[in-house]
Amino acid sequence: MNKDQKQEKIVSMFDEIASTYDMTNRVLSMGIDKSWRKKGCDKTLELLERDKDLTVLDVACGTGDMLQWWKDRGEAAGVTFKRFIGVDPSEGMLEVAKEKVDYAEFIVAKAQDMPVEENTADILSISYGIRNVVDRQEAINEFYRVLKPGGMVVILEFTKRDKSGLKGKIVDFYMHKILPTIGGLVSRNYEAYRYLPDSIEGFLTTEMLQQELESAGFTMQYTQAFSMGISTLLIAKK
């Protein structure tokens, strides 16, 4: 299977689980992902050296969750947004997003090839989507292109973990045994939720992802691991 075929298979999988995606996520994370997203937004707005008329571009936006968080946390921080853009290659996901988020514009596109002008966004976020991008370095280069100077890229992701010790074994058991079973039951798509732990195993460590960001020209600003290292937040500046 070549890169294009692999990417299309991933997009097709997300099309199939779009209608149950939000509910399944809440069940699997027990709502903890809300605190991860909140932290990502709040820390970025704290680090960004501007707070008016911002444009946020959410890549692999899925059903629009992160766009809602940007709006809510921006209002809480007294930050004003003038434009919200969601990009995702899955039309099924975007159909759900459009019903939830009526203040954003949505574009069907891959992360590595976005029809967005350079220097457009003040903030570019991608939540639990970068590991699904086959041409990842191309995508990170594209993030750099569409961000304004001084803009921030915000990544929330399940990075590869150290599986040694009791903590590592507990997380590994949850990811490989409990998550696929519950995800499959709720979504009726067992293959999609078997893919998730496998995709994490084949992904990068936090340090490797930082290196790829720096290779594209970004400067790291902040990194934090959550919930026994299950999720990681990375913020970098153009």
Annotated binding site: 63, 88, 127
Q: Please provide the DSSP assignment of 76-133 as one string.
A: HHT--EEEEEEEES-HHHHHHHHHH-TTSEEEE-BTTB----TT-EEEEEEES-GGG-
Q: What are phi and psi of 159, to 5 degrees?
A: -90, 165
Q: How many CB atoms lie within 10 A of CB 101?
A: 21
- For residues 202 and 180, give the distance between their C-alpha atoms in angstroms, rounded to a whole number: 16
Q: In what order do the strands lie in the sheet with 81-88?
A: 105-108, 81-88, 54-59, 121-127, 147-157, 231-237, 219-226
The count of other CB atoms within 10 Å of the CB of residue 229 is 17
**Strand partners of residue 55:** 83
Q: From the annotation, which residues make up the binding site for S-adenosyl-L-methionine? A: 63, 88, 127
3-state secondary structure of 157: strand
